[in-house]
């Protein structure tokens, strides 16, 4: 695994620190984290290159018999860290979340490691992408190409575990702006994954789709509000998964009775065709990692199985409060923040029908493609998702009629219960997700094409 001298120096004292904390046999752990990154943006008017502020620090944690006590510092002197370790060791008790013994060093697999590419080379690649996008359309008035990378180095140490990981996250986006008769519209193609600089490559098919969508948006209408039969793209399916049954099953909300889903554990909440997972071990997905910030190795958690809600996402605190098994979803925005139950890669699983067959089964309806935004009320189970674009389906075929900024609303069990077909494809997108207005962590959502009914406006 590739590391940095600064991280190695930060993580080296963890063995001694954990030995001191665990001297009386209590449940303790330590996490060292270094987060770095950079961003590049090029459009017709400006060019920006910036570094993401470096975050480097250690979190010490002890279970005191009721909950967790933590101490965090950004590279404090060894003597100060050992004093903090002794204080935590004196209050530490057994009875926290226990894990089996495990060791490992893990690294992101990518074709072009960002560490091996100079900033000048990355900038040149982004400029080249901008020029390609700018030349796509005769009515183009601007084009933008962006690239960002985030590299996270972590070591988790407890009496049972010694885990080290390097997670590389890259996002590259191409955006095309077009104008006609005083109307300006845009289309975009995003790449986001735990991969490398190779994500700056866009295929001809992707660029042509962006060009054609931009043209279509110039004549896009507003949709007539009503209930429609719809087919969702993998991106749209993922947005629905994230908003409909993502935050609502983050089980730190259960002790506070802030999520309606806790009343439905073991009950039907969706069509029997529906299975949904949260899985940080998906190779290459943007929300993936090898272990979470509480030392749990990445593995899938089944949320819905054949329409039945079978389990949520539990960080250590929620697991202790509820008597529920912890899942690998304890995540911190940084070493400065506490761990919460958070989504990773949340998605519907695929089935045996082709996307074309889903569309062919719709007499009159809509195809929803690019997502724009979404929100959910976990308490009342309402969902509201906005799609950037939609396309009419008539007689089992896509027409050339497009609609823009289409809202999808409904009661979560009604929306998921209406799923009538699931396609055999599967893909993921990338994003950042907050806990309310803060605590942002990288996530991914996705799934196959789905056919369902929902209210559009």
**CATH at 166:** 3.30.2290.10
Task: Report the pLDDT value the prediction gives residue 198, as an integer from 0 to 100.
Answer: 99
Q: What b/e sequence results for 124-160 when a residue is b if at least 16 CB atoms lie within 10 Å of its CB, and e otherwise?
A: ebbeebbeebbebbeebebbbbbbbbbbbbbbbbbbe
Whether the full predicted model's pTM is greater than 0.85, yes or no, is yes
Burial class (CB in 10 A: 0-12, 13-18, 19+), 449: buried
Q: What is the pLDDT of residues 256-310, one digit of tens each?
A: 888 899 999 999 999 999 999 999 999 999 999 999 999 999 999 999 999 999 9
What DSSP state is assigned to residue 323?
T
Residue 195 shares a structural domain with residue 111 = yes
Residue 151 shares a structural domain with residue 274 = no
Task: Report the pLDDT value the prediction gives residue 190, as an integer from 0 to 100.
Answer: 96
Residue 209 shares a structural domain with residue 275 = no
Task: Report the pLDDT value the prediction gives residue 98, as an integer from 0 to 100.
Answer: 81
Residue 213 shares a structural domain with residue 247 = no
Mark which of 167, 193, 217 sits at the end of a domain: 217
Residue 410 shares a structural domain with residue 374 = yes
Provide the percentage of residues in the chain whose pLDDT is more than 90: 91
**Strands 397-411 and 450-456, bridge-based pairing:** antiparallel
Q: What is the pLDDT of residues 146-173, one digit of tens each?
A: 999 999 999 999 999 999 999 999 999 9
Task: Report the pLDDT value the prediction gives residue 62, as an integer from 0 to 100.
Answer: 98
Residue 337 shares a structural domain with residue 240 = yes
CA 15 vs. chain centroid, Å, equals 32
Task: Report the pLDDT value the prediction gives residue 22, as an integer from 0 to 100.
Answer: 97
Residue 21 shares a structural domain with residue 51 = yes
Task: Report the pLDDT value the prediction gives residue 374, as an integer from 0 to 100.
Answer: 80
Lowest mean pLDDT of 34-48, 74-88, 318-332, name the range: 74-88
**Strands 364-368 and 226-232, bridge-based pairing:** parallel
Query: What is the rounded CA–CA span in Å between residue 33 and residue 35?
Result: 7
Structural domain including 81 reads 5-217
Burial class (CB in 10 A: 0-12, 13-18, 19+), 283: exposed
Asked if residues 420 and 273 have their Cβ atoms less than 8 Å apart, the reply is yes
What φ, ψ does residue 289 adopt, rounded to 5°? -155, 180
Q: How many domains does the chain have?
A: 2
Residue 233 shares a structural domain with residue 134 = no
Query: What is the rounded CA–CA span in Å between residue 84 and residue 69?
Result: 11
Q: How many CB atoms lie within 10 A of CB 219?
A: 13
């Amino acid at each position: 695994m590739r590391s940095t001298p600064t991280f190695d120096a930060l993580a080296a004292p963890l063995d001694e620190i954990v030995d001191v904390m665990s001297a009386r046999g209590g449940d303790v752990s330590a996490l060292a984290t270094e987060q770095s990154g950079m961003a590049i943006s090029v459009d017709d008017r400006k060019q920006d290159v910036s570094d993401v502020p470096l975050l480097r620090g250690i979190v010490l944690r002890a279970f005191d018999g009721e909950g967790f006590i933590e101490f965090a510092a950004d590279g404090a002197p060894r003597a100060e860290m050992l004093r903090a370790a002794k204080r935590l060791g004196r209050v530490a008790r057994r009875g926290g979340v226990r894990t089996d013994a495990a060791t490992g060093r893990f690294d992101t697999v990518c074709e072009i490691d960002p560490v091996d590419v100079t900033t000048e080379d990355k900038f040149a690649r982004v400029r080249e992408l901008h020029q390609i996008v700018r030349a796509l359309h005769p009515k183009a008035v601007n084009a933008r190409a962006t690239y960002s990378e985030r590299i996270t180095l972590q070591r988790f140490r407890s009496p049972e575990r010694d885990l080290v990981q390097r997670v590389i996250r890259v996002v590259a986006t191409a955006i095309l702006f077009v104008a006609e008769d005083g109307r300006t519209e845009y289309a975009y193609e995003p790449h986001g994954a735990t991969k490398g600089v190779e994500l700056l490559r866009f295929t001809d098919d992707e660029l042509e789709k962006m060009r054609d969508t931009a043209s279509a948006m110039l004549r896009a209408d507003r949709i007539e509000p009503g209930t429609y039969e719809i087919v969702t793209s993998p991106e749209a399916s993922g947005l629905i998964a994230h908003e409909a049954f993502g935050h609502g099953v983050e089980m730190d909300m259960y002790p506070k009775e802030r999520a309606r889903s806790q009343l439905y554990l073991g009950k039907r909440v969706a069509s029997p065709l529906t299975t949904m997972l949260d899985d940080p071990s998906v190779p290459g997905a943007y929300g993936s990692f090898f272990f979470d910030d509480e030392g749990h190795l990445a593995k899938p958690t089944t949320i819905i199985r054949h329409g039945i809600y079978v389990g949520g996402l539990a960080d250590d605190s929620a697991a202790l409060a509820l008597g529920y098994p912890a899942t690998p979803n304890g995540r911190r925005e940084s070493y400065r923040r506490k761990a919460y139950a958070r989504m990773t890669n949340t998605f519907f699983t695929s089935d045996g029908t082709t996307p074309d067959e889903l569309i062919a089964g719709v007499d009159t309806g809509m195809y929803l493609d690019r997502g724009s935004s979404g929100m959910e009320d976990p308490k009342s189970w309402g969902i509201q998702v906005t799609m950037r674009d939609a396309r009419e389906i008539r007689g089992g075929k896509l027409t050339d009629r497009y609609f823009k900024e289409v809202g999808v609303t409904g009661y979560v069990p009604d929306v998921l219960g209406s799923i009538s077909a699931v396609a055999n494809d599967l893909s993921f997108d990338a994003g950042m997700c907050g806990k309310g207005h803060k605590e942002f962590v990288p996530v991914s959502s996705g799934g196959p094409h789905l056919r369902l009914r929902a209210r559009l406006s």
